[in-house]
Amino acid sequence: MITTGQIIRCKAAVAWEAGKPLVMEEVEVAPPQKHEVRIKILFTSLCHTDVYFWEVKGQTPLFPRIFGHEAGGIVESVGEGVTDLQPGDHVLPIFTGECGDCRHCHSEESNMCDLLRINTERGGMIHDGESRFSINGKPIHHFLGTSTFSEYTVVHSGQVAKINPDAPLDKVCIVSCGLSTGLEATLNVAKGKKGQSVEIFGLGAVGLAAAEGARIAGASRIIGVDLNSKRFDQAKEFGVTEFVNPRDHDKPVQQGIAEMTDGGVDRSVECTGSVQAMIQAFECVHDGWGVAVLVGVPSKDDAFKTHPMNLLNERTLKGTFFGNYKPKTDIPGVVEKYMNKELELEKFITHTVPFSEINKAFDHMLKEESIRCIITMGA
């Protein structure tokens, strides 16, 4: 391409301050360096994680910054040492990575890559610590190594999944974070069986994806737990059969679930990050065979507390990161599930906005109006 090796000037939505509307700016995007790829982003979506760090809830402020980590695009150019990607490839940038060389990447049981594991505080690239974004010579910080709220971005090649070029990027871009996390928490980690009961704590995007996983697995009952009863009707589209709002009951959730299910559910998936919900999710599974999976990220000072007998009575507690998916290896397979009509994505997409109106996507999420809002670049 004519832009290979050259600085590209393009539009990006820059967060200059915490909680303030993003500002559309012209940025300079440097060429990719060793083991890096420059991608033309065609579609991106807003995830709650973007909002969380934009609001600066409990973490170190890092501004100015370009957020965004769920997206689909086309490789524009590659840096030194990149052999598995080439210009023209259709790709999904991923917030975590797979270097292929560390113990975690060699393990069939882990996706916690030593080199490219998620790092929310890193504002530059791994190769040299420098940003590839700038405005009038002033560096603009990266976010999660992806920064997809820019028409062009630079990503480490280990965080780029090459996908089927026939897959519609405006749909499959959402599998690069929340959807895959929830879906595979049920399918790949909880490993629910056909006919079993599954409880989902939190009916946001990740929780609905977990419910979708339970539906695909053939669960006989899918019980949704959420403090917002307005989410219940929407959750029916994802296979949820029963609903519990803890505010409507005067007894602990786990006690009520045990009464509803003759001793407890077979599987539970917690998607809120609330320690109280985590404890409830664990204690509501049936003794002898129940499995609880924790997906939500708690606050740094939280502590999980339960009686040891809950473990000795053969309940299993698991945690998961990104549904135990290896980004480069496994994400292309999720896209193929969609292409083979085994997975529905359209029902997760509730809104679409042009890139010039990206702040509307934030409004929709803050008002709890959207599951996923697709942002069309170049519009």
**Catalytic site residues?**
47-49, 69-70, 99, 102, 105, 113, 117, 177, 372
| CA geometry: angle 364, 365, 368, nearest 5 deg | 90
What is the rounded CA–CA span in Å between residue 52 and residue 180? 19
- Give the distance from CA 126 to its chain's centroid: 21
* Residue the block writes with tokens 């190594």: 145
Residue 59 CB: number of other CB atoms within 10 A? 12
Alpha helices by DSSP H, listed for the chain, are 48-55, 103-106, 169-172, 178-184, 205-217, 231-235, 253-260, 275-283, 309-312, 327-339, 358-366
CB atoms within 10 A of CB 303: 6
Contact 198, 241 (CB under 8 A): no
Query: Nearest-CA neighbor of 316 among 293, 335, 339?
Result: 293
Q: At 191, list the tokens.
A: 């490993």
HSE-up (13 A, CA, CB side) for residue 162? 12
Closest-CA residue to 345 (of 314, 316, 374, 366): 374
Are the C-beta atoms of 287 and 262 separated by less than 8 Å? no
Would you tell me how many other CB atoms lie within 10 Å of the CB of residue 263?
14
